[in-house]
Structure 1
Amino acid sequence: MTLSSVLLPRHPSAPLRPAGAAAAGVAAVLMLMLAALTWPVPASAAGAGPCDLYASGGTPCVAAHSTVRALYSSYSGALYQVRRSSDNAARDIGVVAPGGAANAAAQDAFCAGTTCVVTWVYDQSGHGNKLGYQGPGGVGGSDTAARATSESLTVAGSKAYSLYIDPGNSYWRDGHLTGVPTGSAPEGMYMVTSGTHVNSGCCFDYGNSETTRKADGPGAMDAINFSKSCWFGGCAGSGPWVQADLEWGLFPGGSSSWNPDQRAFTSKFVTATLKNNGTTRFAMKGADAQSGSLATLYNGSLPGGYDPMKKQGAIILGSGGDCCNGNTNLSAGTFYEGAVVSGYPSDATENAVQANITSAGYGK
């Protein structure tokens, strides 16, 4: 029996085959092949991007940002936009191939002989949650856009540029109508950042923030903070640490007491994760983004007064929720990639994402 005799439909004028063991075998093979074509197959680390892995785990990305690579295996659009000072022209910077690294050569050619800033970081998830700088000409406010050429690196052997945040640079998007979780809905997120460009200024955050751009009280934010900032006494060492900015405090764990499981992450490239079920618990993890597995820093109850959460659904990058007031835009930090997901990611999914990050080949 040939494969074509199983796959090709019988022509209406062709005679029927006799019933028997051979026909039953054909039917069984056909049913197995049809099942294989219709049953969903979970994504694996090979060939998948972080957001493919989150989707396979049932917690899809609702915002996906990076200046260095695609976060989906099939993504072929723009990663970010630069604007040059010589003539105020703008250029979208995409990837060298679908699912690949950023096309840094396009930025180099466009910015040659002048300076460029990053005006937009595009959302790869399809939800339209692109981040604009919080300043005149951007999405409003008093902050400025980050310089586009402050730091170059390699990803999978290809040159790329980070989003290098200095005090006074920050990005924002109101995503409460475009998929970003609100209220007590569960949520997860990750980012790849750096342990070598960091300070203690408030607040180098990435995640869920206020649509009002004001400090609206406990639970109004749900964002990863990576800094040397210690809001509560008893901090061990000088950081930088992965903490949770839940508004009105950077939490190293489930209370204002210092969490003894916290540790500093000083490597060049750092993975940080945060997940929050919105009503009872949250968890934080961290790792070297070049090798190794995620370490659980906290997994337990939300702080008192933060349950349930009251998330508003904006996305912040590089400042606190009440941006540009002179107190929450004092941070320094580096952003390479990150995503916000709907739902509470499993440990297996987060481990798969970390494995993908280490295989991406981050280098200086």
Structure 2
Amino acid sequence: MRASRGSLASFLAVVGLLLGAVLGLPGPSRAAGAQLPCDIYAGAGTPCVAAHSTVRALFSSYDGPLYRVTRASDGAGADIGLLAPGGYADAGRQDTFCADTTCAITKIYDQSARHNDLTPGPAGTSGMGADRGADAAEIAVTAGGHKAYGVWISPGVGYRYTGAASGVAVGGSAEGAYMVASGTHVGSACCFDYGNAESTPADTGNGHMDAVSLATTCYFAPCTGPGPWVEADLENGMFQGDNGSNTANRGNNSTFVTAVLKNDGQTRYALKGADAQSGGLTTWWDGALPGRGGYRPMHQEGGIILGTGGDNSNWNMGTFFEGVMVSGYPSDATENAVQANIVSVGYSGETNIPNGPQGTITGPGGKCVDVAADDTGTDGAAVQLWDCQSWAEDQHWTHNADGSLSTIGRCLDVDGNGSANGTEVELWDCNGVGGQKWVQQADGSLLNPQSGRCLDSPNGATGNGTRLRIWDCNGSAAQKFRLG
């Protein structure tokens, strides 16, 4: 039987997809006729009920916004959309809107018709405060041959749909999820998750979560190697196998990782991982749900989290690029097709070091200017010297057009807008006052023009935790701070 024109076009599209996956060729803004992850899932009877990405469309027909950024300078917001329907993010729109200031990602739009959008989460029972939005320019990569930004999760950053999201599994229903994340910007704290969580930010018991995690969290020893491992956060446990430990799970530490979880809600779940740049999925577990009380059946509540735990435990780090949640239990063939599509994107770039307009400030002893409290500093947080850590968001500063220096959404500030010798510096909301203006001098010092004094390490101290201050400019080693 002679193939129709439509069949031939479909055949050629599949051939092009496979060639792109094998050769790693960058794609156009959108490959004509190409099926994207949510098209693949829908065609197999397990439709997407939530789809989130700052990088690309996950439905071939999608032509709406991917995410929203909010400027620090004036509080204005802008939606970042696509270069073409079904295509890649218009990163240039963000660059233009956020020029000479910083922007935070304040909403990640759900690309399904269900409007399960994610916004910075509220405080939860973990004891942590409300989440802040990620710095929108912290991590740039290439996808489909285009520049795009990921979501750089540091402690204190996280997103949530509070309540029961439309169509998301509840009370033991089957579901699946995947995310593409960094395998190099990872940690062991709780929790870098994406998926189903409590409808409110509180731990309500075993089986009330069903989220995929990528972390170095060995919750149930023994674990094989250093990780990170693709795990299932089912609440009160990061599971790799039946009752937790699974030494067959050897982890995924590639620059980009596809992390997959599916759960029938009653007796069975599966975990898979892959290099998101090449190759196929490896099944790390396909078997029984934990035999501990509360997991057979599951008790999902239908909330959605990104970058935190169900009770808003937001101490971990990671980088997120795309992810979906689906209704039903996807087949292996469906997940293999989704992985082939992910590989065809041609993700590239470093994912473990912030590469936006920020730079470090190196001070006495080669130490970095750092904010106390591990990326979670609020108003009044101490600014100090500390060993330089490439992944530490609060050691990466933006020198803004108004002369301020900002990190994690706040500015380097002289306490009380003071001017006296010995006045300590701190982190504070950016407000344009003179105590937040800094000018790099030819001798390597950082001058605060309002006070006429320089950023200074008391008595030239170089130890971790040395609190910084302003002092008469004197050209000493205690006042050498290099913006890099």
TM-score, normalization: structure 1? 0.85
| Greater alpha carbon shift after TM alignment, 279-288 vs 46-55 | 46-55
Aligned to 1:359: 344
Mapped partners of 2:63, 2:289: distance in 1: 39
Deviations 1:74-117 (A, max 9, x none): 11100000001010000000000011110000000000000000
Correspondence for 1:311 among 300, 303, 321: 300
Preserved contact between residue 162 and residue 303 of structure 2 (Cα < 8 Å): yes
Aligned to 1:27: none
* AA of the residue aligned to 2:147: K
Preserved contact between residue 207 and residue 222 of structure 1 (Cα < 8 Å): yes
1:163 paired to 2:151: yes
Cα displacement (A) at 1:172: 0.2
Aligned residue pair count? 319
Cα displacement (A) at 1:176: 2.2
Mapped partners of 1:161, 1:92: distance in 2: 14
Preserved contact between residue 197 and residue 310 of structure 2 (Cα < 8 Å): yes
Deviations 1:233-269 (A, max 9, x none): 211221100000000100011113x212201211110
Post-superposition, which runs of at least 4 consecutive aligned residues in structure 1 deviate over 3 A? Answer: 43-46
1:125 paired to 2:119: no
Aligned to 1:149: 137
Mapped partners of 2:324, 2:73: distance in 1: 33
Q: Cα distance 1:298–1:156, how it changes in 2: closer, same or farther (>3 A)?
A: same
Please, which runs of 5 or more residues in structure 2 have no aligned partner? 8-12, 18-32, 350-484
* AA of the residue aligned to 1:360: V
1:231 paired to 2:216: no
* AA of the residue aligned to 1:356: N
| Greater alpha carbon shift after TM alignment, 170-179 vs 144-153 | 170-179
Aligned to 1:285: 272
Preserved contact between residue 134 and residue 141 of structure 1 (Cα < 8 Å): no
Correspondence for 2:99 among 90, 105, 112: 112
Cα displacement (A) at 1:177: 4.9
Mapped partners of 1:329, 1:230: distance in 2: 17
Deviations 1:194-226 (A, max 9, x none): 111111110000000001211111110000011
| Greater relative contact order, per chain length (Cα 8 Å cut-off, separation 6+) | 1
Percent of pairs with identical residues: 56
Preserved contact between residue 162 and residue 336 of structure 1 (Cα < 8 Å): yes
* AA of the residue aligned to 1:74: S
Preserved contact between residue 69 and residue 102 of structure 1 (Cα < 8 Å): yes
| Greater alpha carbon shift after TM alignment, 332-341 vs 44-53 | 44-53
Aligned to 1:219: 207
Three-state SS of the structure 2 residue aligned to 1:339 is strand
Correspondence for 1:335 among 308, 311, 320: 320
Mapped partners of 2:170, 2:63: distance in 1: 29
Preserved contact between residue 165 and residue 303 of structure 2 (Cα < 8 Å): no
Three-state SS of the structure 2 residue aligned to 1:354 is helix
Three-state SS of the structure 2 residue aligned to 1:83 is strand
Aligned to 2:182: 194
Mapped partners of 1:135, 1:218: distance in 2: 22
1:206 paired to 2:191: no
Mapped partners of 1:233, 1:290: distance in 2: 30
Three-state SS of the structure 2 residue aligned to 1:359 is helix
TM-score, normalization: structure 2? 0.64
